[in-house]
Amino acid sequence: MCLSVPWRVEAVGIGVADVSHGPHRRTVSLLLLLDEPVAVGDYLLVQVGDLAAERLSPAAAEDALSLLAEIDCAAAA
Amino acid sequence: MPPPPEGALIVTLTSADGRVTAVDARLTRPPVDRLLVGQPLATALARVPRLFTVCAAAQAAAAAGAVEAALGHSPDSETRAARARAVAIEAAENHAWYLLVAWPRHLGRPPDIAGLARLRKIARAAAASGERADLGALGEALRQGAAGPEAPWYKRGGAAPSTPGKGLGPLHPFDLRREAIGVLCGQLDAGLLPEADGGTVSTSRGRLTHTVALGADLTPTVWHIDAPTDRHFAPNGPFVQALLGQPLGPDSRDEAEALILAYDPCVSWQLYLTFLPPKAGGMRTSLPFAPLPL
């Protein structure tokens, strides 16, 4: 099950980006996004292997984050 | 540090006298079912594809099929066909990801991003039109990807998939995937795509099943998701069975990593090797290895 987790772009380098989700940090490859521009504050979906697979719209990112927050609440309950 | 939000797989192999004596595969998952149980049916069904973007079509089709089975309903033929098409196209894309990106990177070679982009474009066209010719073009593109020299079965002397409809007899995950790709290519060629069996659909990693039970007010009281990664890395599952008793030494890291990747877990993973001294009660040496830089 590849759970959809939006990762926030914290910094952009050449072909890579530093992203975060809560306390987690990772550097992901932007190869698959081809020429799609990526900027700090964007949200990315990251597949296994630290490859960004998709840049999310703000609405989609917010939606996914709210679902994940519900999961966190359920796990903590 | 909490585990990664999407879950993780931690594999520990214990070796004594040069053989694997124990395999511990621990899979952590967020409690996704809690977002579905107790929700209005429409809300739960809408949440599934939003939770699993990479395999959204398969998850949505399995969820819908499971709910319909619980309700005793059967979708019309048009709905069944549309779901089957979406699931097959998604499976083709995910197979291509494995063949063109994940496996080459395991070999330390650059992923074929252009090839993947081409196949995705064909997949989008097939999804939009639903025409048999477009599905056939996707099948051909996938067949070409599977025939490339980087395909994992070439490492084992196998041939590219060509004969659809054969049973999934061989147990090695490479063989299973090669057969599955061959079957899928044939189905795309023919435009005859397998429909869901209740809450069960075929994905690139294997069978995915949703099981749903409904209460008197039709809200879900049970929502169980049985995903391929859960089965592959279960305590007595094929990954564990494949390794138990096998020769293992300090130089076996690549083979163990390759086997994990062959089973293609859908979460990030880490591998640890522990070597026990010949006599019980001695010191242990634990050698952690970093996860694959896919």
| Domain of residue B178, residue span | 52-226
CA B129 from chain centre, in angstroms, equals 26
Pick the residue with more confidence: B169 or B223?
Answer: B223
CB contact under 8 A, B113 and A64: no
Ranges of beta strands (E only) in chain A are: 6-12, 16-21, 24-29, 43-47, 51-56
- Confirm or reject contact between B121 and chain A (CB < 8 A): no
- Confirm or reject contact between B249 and chain A (CB < 8 A): no
**If you ran DSSP here, which 8-state letter would residue B152 be given?**
G
Whether B25 is in a domain gets the answer no
The residue of chain A with its CA nearest to that of B37 is A74
Q: Which residues of A touch B5 (CB under 8 A)?
A: 3, 5, 21-22, 24, 68
Is pTM, for the whole model, over 0.90? no
ipTM of this complex > 0.85? no
Q: Which pLDDT tens digit goes with each residue over B234-262?
A: 998 888 888 888 887 666 777 788 888 88
B20 dihedral zone (left: phi>0; alpha: psi -120 to 50; beta): beta
Q: Which pLDDT tens digit goes with each residue over A6-41?
A: 999 999 999 999 999 989 999 998 988 877 899 999
Residue B222, pLDDT > 90, answer yes
Of A23, A32, A53, the CB nearest to B54: A53
Q: What's the structural domain count of chain B?
A: 1
Q: Which pLDDT tens digit goes with each residue over A32-77?
A: 887 789 999 999 998 877 889 889 999 989 988 998 888 888 777 7
- In the structure encoding, which two tokens stand for residue B286, read together? 């634990």
Whether B105 is in a domain gets the answer yes
CB contact under 8 A, A51 and B294: yes
Residue-range domains of chain A with CATH: 6-76 (2.30.30.140)
Whether B171 is in a domain gets the answer yes
Contact between B268 and B8 under an 8 Å Cβ cutoff? The reply is: yes
